[in-house]
């Protein structure tokens, strides 16, 4: 017995035979029977291909004698049954032999939440959503509590957790995502026992004591509910209602991946980053929900390295991000899985957004053909506002700061952004407002520069920026250009859920600095 690291997947209870979990054809692997203590397992080993490493391609033309090295990658997966469930233990690139639909998502995360010592965590990965998915990976230099990871407990969907195992009988180190990566003293005969122990940890609910916020967003596991939600989303996609959806890789993209391609190929199309425009290729016409579902699961995004070799792949369905309401529930589709936002958490976010009022400023309606810059210039001229759009203030040691887009004679800092479909691109707007507010209060040089820019329009505007600054008399307005023909007095209430969370955090931050904050809807003129 020695120290080994294994990667364990829990297969869904619908898997009744080992080969049900494989996505490769029988002629693509070799089978080996394995005696694992009281459990009989089967090892499936993929055919091995060798390839030329990228560094050989780079150096070979100028190297004497010529370099002719090849590398070989191994892929194997051990399938065993214990405690009335099937498990898969992947070796090398073995996870690529598994059908992604065959294993339980977030199994590893749940196990790690229960099994890791909460005072000895090593790291975590998380995703937060707004106009895009922000993947973050945090690792501390020494084992610490969850506070050291500085997770955003409102916006982050934690996708993996790593740390020291609390029970030495189980192992030494653990990392959990979809699979459990466990380092322990073990032998082949102990694999069945280890899988049983991991299943036991998965079923525990003790993690809620140490991470009470973790289920603010919880996975929906009822197959009937999932099927109904899948069907509804696929119907929307079949109707080509693409603005309701975002599309991006569902995992942290490793440094090996330098670009993306599609399967089936789209005329040799190579992508720097995949986005929702791919939906128009996969669903080129209106179709039934069932047909759209089939196409999205068939159509793939493939991450490739600089040698053009595949590193990872995901179906378009796995790459979708979609938010919807169903009665009192807030539901999120992400990485092919549905999540339910905990009701009290969702209500708190919704109530906060609903209470945000408009400023009462008479901002002009937007025109359909103008961009944000054109709108700001016209609004400044029509309403006698100072135009500060793209008027950046550069301070030593700091990134360039845009004070706002428009500044009113009553001291309103007006930030404008066109709201688009799906998870609206609002994070830039919120960040601009926060950074500007902080600079106004903390940086005397910023105030000097701002007064100079305002003086170019009207000296009386510059006088509003006092020393010291009085934030209570300088309201912040977040202006959202929408497709509506008439403005709403409570536009924040209609934002996507994760945008509301980001908005709430921004408003709280600005209010802590004593700013009054408003959210205004800027309607769009009807055609004709």
Q: Which residue has the higher pLDDT, 57 or 144?
A: 144
Strands 476-481 and 517-522: parallel
- pLDDT-derived band at 475, boundaries 50, 70, 90: very high
Check: CB of residue 60 under 8 Å from CB of residue 142: no
Q: What is the percent of the chain where pLDDT is above 70?
A: 96
Measured CA to CA in angstroms, residue 399 lies from 283, 296, 373, 389 at distances of: 42, 41, 21, 16
**Bigger pLDDT: 282 or 496?**
282
Residue written as token pair 């159509």: 299
Q: What is the DSSP string of 288-306?
A: -HHHHHHHHHHSEEEEE-T
Please give the span between the terminal C-alpha atoms of the chain, in angstroms, as a whole number: 79
Of all residues in the chain, the percent with pLDDT exceeding 90 is 50
Mean pLDDT of 212-216: 87
Per-residue pLDDT, 528:
60
Task: Give the pLDDT confidence score for residue 420 in this predicted structure.
Answer: 60
pLDDT tens digits, 247-272: 888 776 777 888 888 888 877 667 77
Looking at residue 474, its pLDDT comes to 97
Q: What average pLDDT does this structure show over 200-206? A: 95
What would the mean pLDDT of 365-369 be, rounded to a whole number?
Answer: 89
pLDDT in tens, 300-329: 998 888 888 888 889 999 999 888 887 778
Q: Name the band, by pLDDT with cuts 50, 70 and 90, for residue 78.
A: very high
Query: What pLDDT score does 111 carry?
Result: 97
Q: What is the mean pLDDT of the chain?
A: 88
Mean pLDDT, to the nearest integer, of 383-387? 94
Query: How high is the pLDDT of residue 131?
Result: 54
Residue 284 has pLDDT above 90, yes or no: yes
Between the CA of residue 227 and those of 41, 223, 245, what are the distances in Å? 32, 6, 18
Confidence at residue 231, expressed as pLDDT on a 0 to 100 scale: 95
- Residue 292: CB atoms within 10 A of its CB come to 23
Neighbours of 455 (CB within 10 A): 14
Is the per-residue pLDDT at 463 higher than 70? yes
Q: pLDDT tens digit string along 220-246?
A: 877 788 899 999 999 999 999 998 888
> pLDDT by residue (tens digit) across 184-196?
998 898 999 999 9
Question: What is residue 425's predicted lDDT score, i.e. its pLDDT?
Answer: 58
What is the reported pLDDT for 129? 65
What is the model's pLDDT at position 421?
Answer: 47
At 353, the pLDDT band (50, 70, 90 cuts) reads very high
Pairwise CA distance, residues 353 & 360, whole Å: 17
pLDDT in tens, 287-297: 999 999 999 99
pLDDT at 424 over 50: no
């Amino acid at each position: 017995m020695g120290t080994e690291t294994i990667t364990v997947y829990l297969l869904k209870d619908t898997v009744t035979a080992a080969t049900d979990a494989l996505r490769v054809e029988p002629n693509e692997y070799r089978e080996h029977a394995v005696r694992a203590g009281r459990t009989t397992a089967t090892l499936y080993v993929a055919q091995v291909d060798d390839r030329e490493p990228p560094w050989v391609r780079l150096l070979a033309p100028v190297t004497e004698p010529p370099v002719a090295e090849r590398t070989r990658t191994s892929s194997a997966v051990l399938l065993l049954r214990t405690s009335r469930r099937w498990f898969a233990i992947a070796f090398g690139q073995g996870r690529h032999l598994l059908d992604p639909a065959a294993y339980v998502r977030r199994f590893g995360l749940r196990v790690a939440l229960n099994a890791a010592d909460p005072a000895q965590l090593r790291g975590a990965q998380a995703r937060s959503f707004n106009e895009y998915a922000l993947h973050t990976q945090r690792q501390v230099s020494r084992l610490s509590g969850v506070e050291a990871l500085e997770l955003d407990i409102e916006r982050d969907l934690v996708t993996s957790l790593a740390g020291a195992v609390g029970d030495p009988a189980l192992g030494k180190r653990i990392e959990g995502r979809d699979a459990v990566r466990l380092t322990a003293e073990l032998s082949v005969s102990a694999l069945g026992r280890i899988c049983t122990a991991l299943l036991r940890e998965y079923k525990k609910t003790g993690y809620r004591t140490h991470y009470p916020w973790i289920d603010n967003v919880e996975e929906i596991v009822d197959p009937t509910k999932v099927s109904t939600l899948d069907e509804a989303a696929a119907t929307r996609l079949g109707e080509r209602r693409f603005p309701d959806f975002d599309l991006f890789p569902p995992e942290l993209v490793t440094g090996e991946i330098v670009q993306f391609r599609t399967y089936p190929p789209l005329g040799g199309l190579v992508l720097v980053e995949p986005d929702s425009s791919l939906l128009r290729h996969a669903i080129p016409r209106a179709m039934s929900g069932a047909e759209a579902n089939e196409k999205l699961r068939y159509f793939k995004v493939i991450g490739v390295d600089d040698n053009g070799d595949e590193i990872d792949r995901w179906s378009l369905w796995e790459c979708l991000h979609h938010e919807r309401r169903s009665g009192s529930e807030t539901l999120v589709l992400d990485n092919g899985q549905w999540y339910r936002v905990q009701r009290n958490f969702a209500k708190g976010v919704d109530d906060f957004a609903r209470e945000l009022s408009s400023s009462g400023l008479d901002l002009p309606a937007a025109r359909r053909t103008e961009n944000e810059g054109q709108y700001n210039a016209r609004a400044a001229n029509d309403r006698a506002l100072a135009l500060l759009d793209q008027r950046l203030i550069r301070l030593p040691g700091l990134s360039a700061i845009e004070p706002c887009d428009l500044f009113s004679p009553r001291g309103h800092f007006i930030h404008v952004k066109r709201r688009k479909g799906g998870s609206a691109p609002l994070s830039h707007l919120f960040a601009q407002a926060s950074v500007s507010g902080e600079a106004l209060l903390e940086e005397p040089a910023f105030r000097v520069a701002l007064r100079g820019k305002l003086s170019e329009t009207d000296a009386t505007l510059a006088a509003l920026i006092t020393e010291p600054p009085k934030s209570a008399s300088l309201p912040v307005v977040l202006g959202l250009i929408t497709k509506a023909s008439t403005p709403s007095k409570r536009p924040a209430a209609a934002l996507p859920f994760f945008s509301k969370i980001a908005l709430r955090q921004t408003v709280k931050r600005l209010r802590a600095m004593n700013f009054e904050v408003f959210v205004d809807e800027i309607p769009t003129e009807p055609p004709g």
